[in-house]
Amino acid sequence: MRIAAARPLPLRLLTACSLLAPTVGCKSGSRESVQGAREDVASATGTPTEPEAPPRPLYDDAGFHAPDRAARRAAVGSLESLPPTLQRAFSETTAFRPVNPPDPGDWLAEHREPGQSFARFQRVAPNVPSDARRTIYVQPIGATADAPIETLSRFTADYFQLPVKTLPSVPVDGLPVTRRLNDDVEQLLAPELLTWLAKRLPEDAYCLIGVTMVDLYPDPEWNFVFGYASLSERVGVHSFARYDPSFYGRADSVSDGVRDALILDRGAKVMAHEIGHMFGMRHCVHYDCVMNGSNHLDEADGQPMHLCPLCLRKLQTSVGFEPDARYRQLSTRYEQLGMTREATWTRERAAYVAGDADDAE
Ligand SMILES: [Zn+2]
Ligand SMILES: [Zn+2]
């Protein structure tokens, strides 16, 4: 959905997108991309001698249809040749929920996503870290004193199992980036930020993510965007502006502790999400997953911090970590950050993937 800036709607109803990939066209939502998803699922079943009924399209005139269990397994692909630890890591268990059918106004109700199976992910030959190029760089843009950047950098290192470095902050004034006022909110044009970031990619960088407290917009016809990343150029940016309750005039309704926890939770999710895009991962349409698109803040808040089995397989194949060791490190990090629910979830997953515990009933 595109909304003309000349006819602004109440903020709660505005369309926001946490992925607009300029080089891949994720905001197009085309018929071709829906058909591509069908072909994709079919090719991932790998049972040519036992033809199955073609999977139901993700979209028809009635809207989005969540993939069923068989389609989810087909999207993850065959695990037969993998060691037991990886088989457990990429199998669907009760720890994961299928994608939520969208309510009106939610991302999947507004955007025709193509979906991306593991086989399709591999076919596009996404970027992968190398020995010479494996550091995730974080570039603060403008004043970011209210953003927990160092905390998020440590979280990011555990999440992606790669080194993370934070660069010195760069002032907004002087950036070669178009600025505008939208409903009295200052905004930066995100694609131009990506162009600028791409020129600053350090030699040893796997990727570079800009973080800012200034609001962003993806093009003049949109009202705002939470974040913006390229699937291929290894750069992205996200804004904390709308994570702070004070942006919506709700500062008085929450305590400082709740506000800080909200900003941290939202910041960690969007960091994982946008950097996930930089590994070539498209929006997840199969599971409740940190790689789900989000159209508004309530939707983003309802999404989990974790990667689903399908998206975890994509990231693990690119980075090569031990999934149970990653879950253990993340669990410790979440405990330090007071994120109790995530700490428990990752601790239980570590035990299950390591073979020390059964799936919960
Ligand atoms: Zn996204
Ligand atoms: Zn996923």
- Ligand 2 mean position to 284 CA, how many Å? 4
pLDDT of residue 263: 87
**Whether the predicted pLDDT of 29 surpasses 90:** no
185 has which bridge partners?
Answer: 182
pLDDT band at 251 (very low <50, low <70, confident <90, very high): low
Look up the pTM and report it.
0.84
Q: Where are the domains of the chain?
A: 11-354
pLDDT of residue 148: 87
Q: Is 274 a known active-site residue?
A: yes
pLDDT of residue 327: 98
- Residue 243: partners with Cβ closer than 8 Å, 6 or more residues away: 262, 263, 266, 267, 270, 297
Does domain 11-354 match CATH 3.40.390.10? yes
Strands 235-239 and 215-217: unpaired
The total of other beta-carbon atoms located within 10 Å of residue 176's CB is 9
Three-class DSSP category at 113: coil
The total of other beta-carbon atoms located within 10 Å of residue 75's CB is 29
- Ligand 1 mean position to 277 CA, how many Å? 7
**Residue 217 and residue 224 in contact, taking contact as beta carbons nearer than 8 Å:** yes
10 Å CB burial of residue 268 (0-12, 13-18, 19+) is buried
- Ligand 2 mean position to 76 CA, how many Å? 10
Which residue, among 341, 310, 340, 306, has the nearest Cα to 326 in the 3D structure? 306
**Whether the predicted pLDDT of 292 surpasses 90:** yes
Express each pLDDT in 218-235 by its tens digit. 999 888 888 899 988 999
pLDDT of residue 330: 98
Which of the following is catalytic: 92, 113, 233, 274?
274
- Ligand 2 mean position to 310 CA, how many Å? 5
Which of the residue ranges 19-28, 74-83, 136-145, 197-206 would you say has the lowest mean pLDDT? Answer: 19-28
Q: Please report which ligand is nearest the Cα atom of 309.
A: 2
Gap between the terminal Cα atoms of the chain: 40
